[in-house]
Amino acid sequence: MECPHLSSNISGAFDSSRFPNGTPSSWCCNVCRSNKSPWICLTCLMVHCGRYVNGHAKKHFEENQVLCVSQRKGEKHEKEKIHHSVCMDCSSYSVFCYRCDEFVVNDTKLGQVQKLREHLQSLRNLGNTCFMNAILQSLSNIEQFSCYFKELPAVALRSGKTAGRRMYHTRSQGDNSVVTVFSHTTNKGAFCVCVCRGYQQQDAHEFMRYLLDHLHRELQYSRNGASHPVSPQDGVRLSSTDGKCCTNGTASVVTSIFGGILQNEVNCLICGTESRKFDPFLDLSLDIPSQFRQKRNKDQEPVPTCTLRDCLHSFTDLEELDDTELYYCHKCKKRQKSTKKFWIQKLPKVLCLHLKRFHWTAFLRNKVDTYVEFPLKGLDMRGYLLEPEKSLPGSCLYDLVAVVVHHGSGVGSGHYTAYGSHEGHWYHFNDSTVTLTNEDTVRKAKAYILFYVERTGQVPSDTSL
């Protein structure tokens, strides 16, 4: 039901420091210390046991109800007092109002119920699923992306209804798989995308690409009304009619947010013939230059700090292809030595930068543990554009919203966590644990994947790079 008491019963701001430690589903009642069915009062943020345990959440409401009535007798001019009547189940995140004696389906005009859900919800590690959690937690902090998706809590999964704004629900199946459910509402209704994985550790970047590609194809399928989703074998194309980056057919929400366009220039060193082609991208994979990977002894000079700009320059600088990558020149009619250079023809709204920290040797895959310095604000991409003179002054600036970090030595082991920015604060997401952190801690992270959002307002740049 729609509750009329939300606005007068919900706290104006949710301070994470007032929440107990641990996951919300394990919180204890302030009275009896039971951790079964914890409910949190949305007025004072106190935790009590629910109606089917010892009922201290209801007693909390009743005690404050008596207090408010007694206050109104001496203060006749007050028409309404808060009653501590609205609670949230810390396991299912459903909301209950004791004055209505019903579960609540609506929200305030400011979306305060959903904001609290975003504070409380986290993802459990279901057995080496940190790679998945880190990506989902990062994407959920990208407003341009997460606003298109709605959360599917356990009740909604059974009823087929959606609630809230977040985009994922992760649960364990009995057949040793993990199912991540996404919901998107279109003019044809809501549909779900399920991503299934086993319990083995996977690469977070590979999962992100699989996820975005899969969402893109499902969105195309829903939009076009096709009998089956477009297959990955259908290739990529660049739409000349609207200038949008398109992967596997027409554009979608995914490509409109993450999609950019590269211009790939190859020049034959024998005859000088130039070849150009456009490549759509959803993310850019950047090498960490070899000069920053060297380990020096104590007696030697330290290696200079590698910056994100060094990685971007390495990606876009003119490169001579080696003998294993000889270019087939159509004028020479044979493979010839050549040079290659990338330009960015179109920047995306959300710029995803993947640092290549894993590389193959003869027998194993090693990790590049080099620290890469990156800006939190004001990443200027103008110098990497094909035609920078056509960009507006002050454009091409990006601010960081999320970082994925890999801890450990190998791709098949270790642990993934993420940092995310939300309403001016930075949080560290470590599976089910979410802690408030600061910008200095984020700057010191050895980033694996960086998510930057195109700047829309005038915010001072971070000039550290």
pLDDT in tens, 410-451: 666 788 899 999 878 898 888 767 788 999 999 999 999 999
Helix (H/G/I), strand (E/B), else coil: 380: strand
From the candidate CATH numbers 3.60.70.12, 3.40.50.970, 3.90.70.10, 3.40.50.10540, the one assigned to the domain spanning 195-454: 3.90.70.10
- The b/e string for 321-349 (b: 16+ C-beta within 10 A; e otherwise) is eeeeeebebeeeeeebebebebbbbbbbb
DSSP state at residue 391? S
Q: What's the DSSP call for residue 7?
A: T
- Whole-number average pLDDT of the chain: 75
E-strand stretches of 337-396: 338-346, 350-355, 358-360, 365-367, 372-373, 379-380
* Cβ(183)–Cβ(150) below 8 Å: yes
For residue range 316-360, what is the model confidence (pLDDT) as tens digits? 888 888 877 788 888 888 888 888 888 898 999 999 999 999 877
Which is more confidently placed, 78 or 143?
143
Average pLDDT over residues 305-315: 94
Tell me the pLDDT band of 249, cut-offs 50, 70 and 90. Answer: low
Cα–chain-centroid distance for residue 464?
A: 25
Q: Once rounded to an integer, what is the mean pLDDT over residues 294-316?
A: 81
Q: Which residues are catalytic?
A: 130, 415
Residue 314's H or E segment, with its range, is: helix 308-316
Tell me which of 154 and 64 has the higher pLDDT: 64
User: 1-120 has which CATH code?
Assistant: 3.30.40.10
- At 228, is the pLDDT very low, low, confident or very high (cuts 50, 70, 90)? very low
CA-nearest of 145, 402, 149, 344 to 256 is 145
Task: For residue 19, give the amino acid letter.
Answer: F
Residues 6+ apart with CB under 8 A from 357: 288, 367, 368, 369, 406, 448
Q: Which DSSP string corresponds to 206-257?
A: HHHHHHHHHHHHHHHHHHHT-SSPPPGGG-EEE-TTT--EEESSS--HHHHH
pLDDT at residue number 243: 42
Of 306 and 149, more confident: 306
Q: Can you give the pLDDT at residue 397?
A: 94
Length of the chain measured in residues:
465
pLDDT value, residue 230:
40
Q: Which residues lie below 8 Å from residue 2, measured CB to CB, with a gap of 6+?
A: 104, 105, 106
Residue 150 has pLDDT above 50, yes or no: no
**Domain-by-domain residue ranges, the chain?**
1-120, 195-454
b/e string for 33-48 if b means 16 or more Cβ within 10 A?
eebebbbbbbbeebbb
Task: Assess contact for 339 and 269: CB atoms under 8 A.
Answer: yes
pLDDT in tens, 116-131: 776 666 555 555 678 8
pLDDT interval class at 20 (50, 70, 90): confident
The answer to whether residue 274 scores a pLDDT higher than 90 is no
Half-sphere exposure of 225 (CA within 13 A, CB side): 3
Looking from the CA of 64 toward its CB, the CA atoms found within 13 Å total 18
